[in-house]
Structure 1
Amino acid sequence: MPSYYPSHLQDFHDLPVHTFPADEEHDARALPDAASVAWRLSTECEYAFEPIWGRFLDQVRAEDVTALVIGPWWEDWDASSVDPVLELIASDARRLPNLRGVFVADVESEETELSWIVQGEVTRLLRAWPGLRELGVRGGEHLAIEPLRHEGLRDLWVESGGLPAAPVRALGACEFPALERLELWLGTSWYGGECTPEDIDPLLAMLGRCPELRHLGLQNSDIQDEIALALSSAPVVAGLESLNLSMGTLGDDGGAALLAGQPLTHLRSLDLDHHYMSEELTDRLRAALEPHGVRLALAAVDARYDSENRYVAVGE
């Protein structure tokens, strides 16, 4: 079974991640070229974020920076909301005219658990950078999304142990004409996951109006069967090259819905790892899809867990 729990990014936006020193006592001349790395800003849970941000803008050619990764932003192990940090960064947008990728909350469990990360209004970054192409977010608590149209965004992903319904509904009201990839970890009700099939339907309708979309992941959900049923007739599926429904509680009802719905033989890959389907159902999926060249991922959860004891791959 694959390991899913989030860890620090090693690469982001096709660049290696490099952490800007939080300590003032460093040689600025030793820093890499501004455009050669994705810059990670971290307080290391003991410094203040604002002075680190100020030194970063002063010591790195900000106009050449293309990717930012925000690590821990709090002091003294008090994981406060990231919203003031997002506001600070967005206020300096004019100094980073070539920024194309941002990841918010590159945090491991040793720093704070996924479900304890307190997010903010991340669409302020999209408003600040009309040319932003990639936005990654870790954590769902207090995550806020304001409906908007953004011409440049190509890749959006949210890792969460429990995603509230409000940001999912807001995404359904957005317009992303250039979007190529969307991945949402919807999570479980035990950790704030509130999404229902009624929240997913408008999102799928919006994605059906994204002509460039090629990958869709709706993952890590305790309503995975219902999501599979919704996707079985959603027009967006016809344009996809890959579909990821892994990490959740997918069982025979969801697998049967995929088989009975619209054809999936055009897909290059279908990821259903961490599932609760029977061997008979997985055999039927292989027989229906593998002869057409679809790469299937079908690693099952331990057989000791039956339909009454399902769990998602990542919760707390």
Structure 2
Amino acid sequence: MVYDFDDNYHEGYAGLPEAHVPWDQDEPQPEADAVAWYLSASEWHDEGPKAIGECFDWFFEHVDTAKVRAIVIGGWEECYSQDSAPIVSRLADNANRLPGLRWLFLGDISSEQAEISWIQQSDITPLLEAYPKLERLEVRGGSGLGLRPVRHESLRMLRIESGGLPGAVVRAVGECDLPALEHLELWLGVTEYGGDATVGDCAAILSGERLPRLRYLGLQDSEIADEIAAAVAAAPVVARLETLSLAYGTLGNDGAEALLSGQPLTHLRTLDLEHHYLDEAMAARVTAALPGVEVDLSDPQGEDEENESRYVAVSE
């Protein structure tokens, strides 16, 4: 998403229109709880804030933050070399001023601003610790990303988009106690950009022991998608899922065969395999084996039995 300085409103988030910070004072300012507040800075624009700190200053001065429900953090200055730690600290330190915050997106940065692998993130644990009522946390960028195992009673959605997600973060997600989590989506990415997660790193997630309400599981954009599929085929968590996504990765015939040979998947509402390397015969077998399941086999990449030239949908 790109910041448009000619328009106060941005694309929506969490069902709310996004309102730019700072707001054009020539226009009526929206109610604090009626929008998702979008904070973004860039040294490349002649207008608008050059530093994210300026956005926060205006936001806390001009918005009734006690009523704010949603915040989207876009680009910050030199986000390809400066990490998000100051933003995380600013949000965590001001949690008492944001008691109604429920939805947060850290790093809504378009590829025109910085490729996903360039975005410098940091330890996001303070956000979960400071906001025990947070229901939705989304993060874009895996470089420098950190997470420590925590217990969070309210989080219902956790999404991490990356071109390479560190295995330590994947393990930490699995070690978190998240009794309310319904939607978990991890873009695992590739080794070249820090995506060193193994199937073993996913073990705690696949056991489902700390995720009793999970209904959507996405282990996506993975260069080891066939191995992930084989592990998923026997994973206890799958029995309670409504949606399973192995989209955007390098899934081929071997991975699809593992899914078909494993535990039943007919209880699913959706199986998302978008961007895959299945041949036509295997794609037909998957669809035929799952009547009543919405199977997404869009964006086929052609056959590559040797797995020599497969690529994920999102890396750099």
Give the TM-score normalised by structure 1. 0.92
Cα distance in 1 for residues equivalent to 2:107 and 2:186: 15
Q: Deviations over 1:219-265 (max 9, x none)?
A: 00001001111110111001011111110000111000000000000
Cα distance in 1 for residues equivalent to 2:156 and 2:30: 27
Residues 175, 210 of structure 2: 8 Å contact kept: no
Residues 276, 300 of structure 1: 8 Å contact kept: no
Give identity over the alignment, percent: 48
Structure 1 unaligned regions, length at least 5: 1-5
1:1-316, aligned counterparts within 5 Å? 10-21=11-22, 26-27=24-25, 30-45=28-43, 47-74=50-77, 79-205=81-207, 207-290=208-291, 293-303=292-302, 307-316=307-316
Residues 72, 104 of structure 2: 8 Å contact kept: yes
Cα distance in 2 for residues equivalent to 1:280 and 1:78: 43
Q: Secondary structure at the match of 2:290?
A: helix
Q: Secondary structure at the match of 2:76?
A: coil
Give the aligned residue type for 1:315: S
Q: Deviations over 1:14-36 (max 9, x none)?
A: 212222128xxx41763211001
Cα distance in 2 for residues equivalent to 1:248 and 1:49: 34
| Residue number in structure 1 paired with 2:46 | none
Residues 80, 120 of structure 2: 8 Å contact kept: no
Residues 135, 157 of structure 2: 8 Å contact kept: yes
Structure 2 CA distance for partners of 1:49 and 1:89, relative to 1, 3 Å: same
Structure 2 CA distance for partners of 1:233 and 1:308, relative to 1, 3 Å: same
Residues 277, 303 of structure 2: 8 Å contact kept: no
State the shift of 1:7 in Å.
7.3
Q: What's the RMSD between the two structures over aligned residues?
A: 1.8
Cα distance in 2 for residues equivalent to 1:125 and 1:190: 28
State the shift of 1:202 in Å.
2.1
Cα distance in 1 for residues equivalent to 2:133 and 2:88: 17
Count of matched residue pairs: 304
Give the aligned residue type for 2:257: A
| Higher RCO structure (Cα 8 Å, ≥6 apart) | 1
Cα distance in 2 for residues equivalent to 1:27 and 1:209: 47
Structure 2 CA distance for partners of 1:280 and 1:29, relative to 1, 3 Å: closer
Q: Which has the higher helix share?
A: 1
Cα distance in 2 for residues equivalent to 1:10 and 1:175: 32
Give the aligned residue type for 2:114: T
Give the TM-score normalised by structure 2. 0.92
Q: Secondary structure at the match of 1:257?
A: helix
Structure 2 CA distance for partners of 1:7 and 1:208, relative to 1, 3 Å: farther
Cα distance in 2 for residues equivalent to 1:164 and 1:153: 22
Residues 7, 106 of structure 1: 8 Å contact kept: no
Residues 174, 210 of structure 2: 8 Å contact kept: no
State the shift of 1:300 in Å.
4.3
